[in-house]
């Protein structure tokens, strides 16, 4: 990436962080996508500020030829579009070369989810894994059980969950204040099971058992020596797959995000209204939440097709 392109991208990312409240993961994704676009232009001796619509079109064609899925190509184009929108507002380019370019058409995939029974098996497996452990293994097992209960009880994003500050413990223990994407805050309730799991986890720090060393109170609820000072989402995802094996589930079907999907689907399945689920998930746009209604529609279709006595398959 040329020095001019680096300067433009850096200024754009700074704006996204300061004015839009973009999370670190979002900024990293923009940085990667824009570096790829800049590298494409650089091969032809072009800088970002010099690109024309035909150059952006060629870039999209190259991504397609490389086998990139429509959703990934649409994300790349969105990043480029937002960069040029910023540069146009800053006066660095006269006109955005992305203007008028349509995003690749994509069929929105239904989110993967688990049944209530499968989630129960996961939680029971995590609870059972605590028995017979001691020392650090006990802490890890109790922590994982707590994380799993809290994730399914709240539908938090995994990044929100693992980075929770200890300050969320202040106030009503039945509610947590979550800071989500764009710095938006929302309240999420903790059910009895999640509160009990959290109490058990916190008790290890206050009154250690089985030779467990007291947990040092840090600003994070789930501290770690990792770079961010808290448990990483990758570590939690890995532990969750191990729990899936204990529960007799295919680990490829289980992830923190799948549990978030399960939280939303199970609420709607039991009569929760879409606006309430949108608020709990922290979705800025209700259209994002509406995808879960399609999950329920597909489930109902399969139910009728498989079990209704008059359902006839085509010959």
Q: How many CA atoms lie within 13 A of 54 on its CB side?
A: 2
Q: Given 31, 53, 112, 181, which residue is catalytic?
A: 181
| Main-chain dihedrals φ then ψ at residue 69, nearest 5 degrees | -65, 155
Q: Which among 112, 120, 116 is positioned nearest to 243, based on CA atoms?
A: 120
> Can you give the pLDDT at residue 305?
57
Looking at residue 314, its pLDDT comes to 47
**Is 97:80 a contact under the CB 8 Å cutoff?**
no
Given the residues 53, 195, 257, 299, the one annotated as active site = 257
Q: Is 292 a catalytic residue?
A: yes
CB of 16 closer than 8 Å to CB of 30: yes
Is-catalytic flag, 260? yes
Q: Is 261 a catalytic residue?
A: no
Q: Which of 8, 260, 261, 266 is catalytic?
A: 260
Please tell me the class of the 3-90 domain.
Answer: mainly alpha
Instruction: Dump the DSSP string for 43-76.
Output: HTT--GGG--HHHHHHHHHHHHHTT--HHHHHHH
pLDDT for the residue numbered 315: 45
Cβ atoms of 253 and 122 within 8 Å: the answer is no
| pLDDT beneath 50: ranges in the chain | 213-214, 303, 307, 314-315
Q: Catalytic: 283? A: yes
Q: What are the residues whose beta carbons fall under 8 Å from the beta carbon of 180, sequence distance 6 or more?
A: 157, 160, 186, 282
| Listed residue (249, 225, 222) closest to 151, CA to CA | 222
Residue with tokens 């670190």: 24
pLDDT at 20: 78
What is the CA angle 255-258-261, rounded to 5?
A: 160
Q: And the tokens for 278?
A: 């949108």
86-114 burial: b if 16+ Cβ within 10 Å, else e:
bbbeeebbeebbbeeeebbeeeeeebebb
Third-level CATH fold of 116-304: hpI Integrase; Chain A (1.10.443)
Residues 53 and 100: beta-carbon distance below 8 Å: yes
Would you mind telling me the total number of residues written for the chain in this entry? Answer: 315
What SS3 class is residue 80?
A: helix
Q: Between vectors from CA 114 to CA 246 and to CA 123, what angle results, nearest 5°? A: 40
* 257 is known as an active-site residue: yes
User: Per-domain residue ranges for the chain?
Assistant: 3-90, 116-304
Question: Per-residue pLDDT tens for 84-100?
Answer: 999 999 889 888 888 87
pTM (predicted TM-score): 0.63
Identify the bridge partners of residue 230 per DSSP, sorted by sequence position: 223
pLDDT of residue 308: 52
Given a contact cutoff of 8 angstroms between Cβ atoms, the answer to whether 59 and 79 are in contact is no
* Residue-level pLDDT at 251: 93
Instruction: Look up residue 39 and give its DSSP letter.
Output: H
Q: Can 157 be counted among the known catalytic residues?
A: yes
Please tell me which residue in 8, 157, 230, 261 is annotated as part of the active site.
157
């Amino acid at each position: 990436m040329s020095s001019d392109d680096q300067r433009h991208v850096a200024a754009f990312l700074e704006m996204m962080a300061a004015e839009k409240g973009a999370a670190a993961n979002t900024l990293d994704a923009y940085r990667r996508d824009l570096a790829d676009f800049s590298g494409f232009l650089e091969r032809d001796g072009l800088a970002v500020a010099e690109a024309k619509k035909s150059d952006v079109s060629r870039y999209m064609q190259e991504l397609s030829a490389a086998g990139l899925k429509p959703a990934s190509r649409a994300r790349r184009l969105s990043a480029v579009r937002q960069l040029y929108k910023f540069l146009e507002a800053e006066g660095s380019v006269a006109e955005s070369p992305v203007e008028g370019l349509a995003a690749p058409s994509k069929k929105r995939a239904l989110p993967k989810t688990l049944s209530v029974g499968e989630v129960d098996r996961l939680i029971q497996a995590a609870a059972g894994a605590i028995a017979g452990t001691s020392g650090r293994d006990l802490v890890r097992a109790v922590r994982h059980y707590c994380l799993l209960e809290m994730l399914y009880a709240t539908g938090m994003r995994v990044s929100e969950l693992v980075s929770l500050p200890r300050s969320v413990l202040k106030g009503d223990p039945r509610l947590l204040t979550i800071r989500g994407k764009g710095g938006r805050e929302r309240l999420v309730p903790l059910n009895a099971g999640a509160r009990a799991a959290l109490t058990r986890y916190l008790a290890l720090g206050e009154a250690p058992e089985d030779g467990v060393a007291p947990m040092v109170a840090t600003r994070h609820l789930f501290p770690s020596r990792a770079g961010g000072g808290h448990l990483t989402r990758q570590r939690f995802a890995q532990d969750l797959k191990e729990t899936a094996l204990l529960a007799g589930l295919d680990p490829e079907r289980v992830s923190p995000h799948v549990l978030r999907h399960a939280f939303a689907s199970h609420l709607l399945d039991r009569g929760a209204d879409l606006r309430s689920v949108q608020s709990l998930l922290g979705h800025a746009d209700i259209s994002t939440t509406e995808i879960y209604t399609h999950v329920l529609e597909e489930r109902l279709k399969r139910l009728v097709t498989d079990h209704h006595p008059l359902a006839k398959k085509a010959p």
